[in-house]
Chains A and B, each alone.
Chain A
Amino acid sequence: MAVDAQTVEKLAELARIAISKETIDDVSSRLGDVLQLVDQLQAVNTDGVEPMAHPLDEVQVLRRDQVTEPNRREEFLALAPQTEAGLYLVPKVID
């Protein structure tokens, strides 16, 4: 199954990953190979089969909504590329 350059550009936009114009053909052809591989699934009869979310069919565990972790704001902010006044900095969003 072929993937055209337009589809790759749309996926790159959805995934927020810049793909250079030079590599787009290569990415298209490799993505096509992978999609051809996974298209084998379409031939399988799965009528009435419940999709499997957890191998042991466990359900989500609930706990009390209690504070268990200390506030480590400074340590976590220190990991960021750019911060100011206790906030993460990004390029201006609104003019």
Chain B
Amino acid sequence: MHQLTIAEIIRGLRDRQFSSVEITSHLLERIQQLDSQFNSFITVTGEQAIQQAAAADARLAQGNAPALCGVPIAHKDIFCTNGVRTSCASKMLDNFVPPYDATVVDNFLQAGAVSLGKTNMDEFAMGSSNESSYYGAVKNPWDVERIPGGSSGGSAAAVAAQLVPATTASDTGGSIRQPAAMTGTTGLKPTYGRVSRWGMIAFASSLDQGGPIARTAEDAALMLSVMAGPDTKDSTCLDRPTQDYTANLNESISGLKIGVPSEYFGEGLDSEVGARVQEALKEYEKLGAELVEISLPHSKLAVPAYYVIAPAEASANLSRFDGVRYGYRCENPADLRDLYMRSRGEGFGEEVKRRILVGSYALSAGYYDAYYNKAQQVRRLIKQDFVDAFQKVDVIMGPTAPNPAFKLGEKNADPVAMYLEDIYTIATNLAGLPGMSIPCGFAHGLPVGLQLIGNYLDEARMLNIAHQFQQASDWHQKIAPAAQ
């Protein structure tokens, strides 16, 4: 039953082939048996899941079930869940039990989905390897000595290990797409503001965006249909109507113009990864698409601009963790200053502290114009590259990440080397565009992701383009050895 996609589970539940309680129990058992190898969950909410599943079965029997009624999913531990500990993988929030649900979590409850628990991640979503979690690193189901990518490494590993068919995740600089690439799963980062950020613990507010990780583009479309939409509780959430993202999946992509940016195939790209991406592009040509060489001349500046903007916004956002209103407080503070300094010094991990310090530097007196303002100007240049490209093409494609999954510990000593793993995904966040990663083969025996970048609010078309590839290929159906 664990091999089933969400689309198949929906059909199975409606045709009474199995009940929600049955599939939910089955997956909970799998988590219990297998997840000690991967560490993809921080919290498993078994009892609550069975209750939700039983309620879903009752609704299914009545015949008025909502879209994902009885379908098991899991939430990245960045989304607040009413009554369930939401840690953001930090010691700072190890004891934090929110009294409310994030809008995304509420949307899934309204849709009848069953939550199995909360998935592991890099602390406060800051990382590309899922090694900065307070609860320990997540291991890649394709090779447990390797990282699953980050920051949504738990969400991706849980899907790849077939512990759950799909998960929620978030993406600030590649945190959905890069782990999807590393684990052979399908990840979608929507247009900035398409999915509400309310109740999603903030990292860099002008970049953060929630989205799904699933096994197929069709499942990602089903998930996004639940997640997306306006929200009066998030003033940056776009006030534009949402849609059924599965409606266009089967349209032909004949005549599609695919932009291939030369900057995404240069120095630093693993040759086998590059070869798999080129093969995927050839497959698209067979499906009737036309490849158009394009240039995104400011690509090289994306990582430097990001490492000003994201830390600056993080330093402001994470100032709320002060040891006073919630979260970790140090023992026996001497005075208020000591309480702040030690609660934050002890409650945050190394990478989080590093980014807060960088952000404080960029925002400090005399440096604001030289760093934050400059980065925001460069950000517009990066966006303009994409605007120009979309005059000529319908979608942009390239590799999701320059390398397949690396070994645990390999890049820990060098933050800048780790940052460069997101070299192809970061520009999309800076521009606010939607992006996807879909499996397109293997390099050195490990999964490779093909990245799709769509125009603003063009998620339905991007999903259609991804779905057509998955109809013609079976890379997304390959199963990680440890999941068998």
Contact = CB atoms under 8 A, between A and B. Distances in A.
Partners in one complex: yes
Interface of A: 7-8, 11-12, 14-20, 27, 30-31, 33-42, 44, 46, 49-56, 58, 60-61, 63, 72, 75-76, 78-82, 88, 90-93
18 contacts: A17-B357, A18-B344, A19-B353, A38-B304, A38-B308, A38-B375, A41-B374, A44-B381, A46-B374, A46-B378, A55-B383, A56-B192, A56-B193, A76-B325, A79-B326, A90-B339, A91-B335, A93-B335
Contacts of A20: 345
B364 to A, nearest CB: 6
Contacts of A60: 235
**Chain B contact residues (Cβ within 8 angstroms of A): what range?**
35 or more
B304 A37 contact: yes
A52 B356 contact: no
B381 A37 contact: no
Nearest to A28: B357
Given A11-B364, A40-B304, A56 B432 contact: yes
A1 B479 CA distance: 46
The list of the 9 closest CB pairs from A to B, nearest first, reads A55-B432, A18-B345, A51-B376, A46-B377, A81-B329, A52-B380, A79-B326, A18-B341, A16-B340
B99 A54 contact: no
A17 B341 contact: yes
A38 to B, nearest CB: 5
B433 A55 contact: yes
B378 A31 contact: no
A34 B358 contact: yes
Contacts of A51: 373, 376-377, 379-380
Nearest to B351: A30
Contacts of B338: 91
A38 B353 contact: no
B179 to A, nearest CB: 22
B257 interface: no
A17 B356 contact: yes
Nearest to A79: B326
Contacts of B304: 37-41
A67 to B, nearest CB: 14
A5 to B, nearest CB: 13
B379 A52 contact: yes
Contacts of B325: 76, 79-80, 88
Given A11-B361, A63-B232, A40 B348 contact: no
Nearest to A33: B416
B96 interface: yes
B238 interface: yes
A69 to B, nearest CB: 10
Contacts of A92: 335
Interface string B288-321: 0000000000001101110110000001000100
| Residue from the set A18, A35, A78 with the largest chain B CB neighbour count within 10 Å | A18
Contact of B381 (A27, A35, A46): A46
Given A33-B416, A49-B377, 20 more contacts: A11-B357, A15-B344, A31-B361, A34-B358, A34-B419, A37-B304, A37-B416, A38-B307, A41-B371, A44-B374, A50-B380, A52-B379, A60-B235, A61-B235, A76-B325, A79-B99, A81-B323, A81-B324, A91-B333, A92-B335
Interface string B347-359: 0100001101111
B131 to A, nearest CB: 15
Nearest to A7: B361
A81 B323 CA distance: 7
B68 to A, nearest CB: 27
Nearest to B431: A55
A51 B357 CA distance: 23
A37 B432 CA distance: 22
Contacts of B359: 15
A37 B307 contact: yes
Interface in B91-123: 96-97, 99
Contacts of A18: 341-342, 344-346
A19 B360 CA distance: 14
Contacts of A75: 99
A90 B378 CA distance: 42
A79 B96 contact: yes
B329 A33 contact: no
Contacts of A54: 192, 206, 236, 432
A8 B362 CA distance: 13
A90 B70 CA distance: 46
Nearest to A93: B336
A33 B360 contact: no
B415 interface: yes
Contacts of A93: 335-336
A14 B367 CA distance: 14
Interface string B206-241: 100000000000000000000000001001101100
A72 B98 CA distance: 12
Contacts of A79: 96-97, 99, 325-326
A11 B380 CA distance: 28
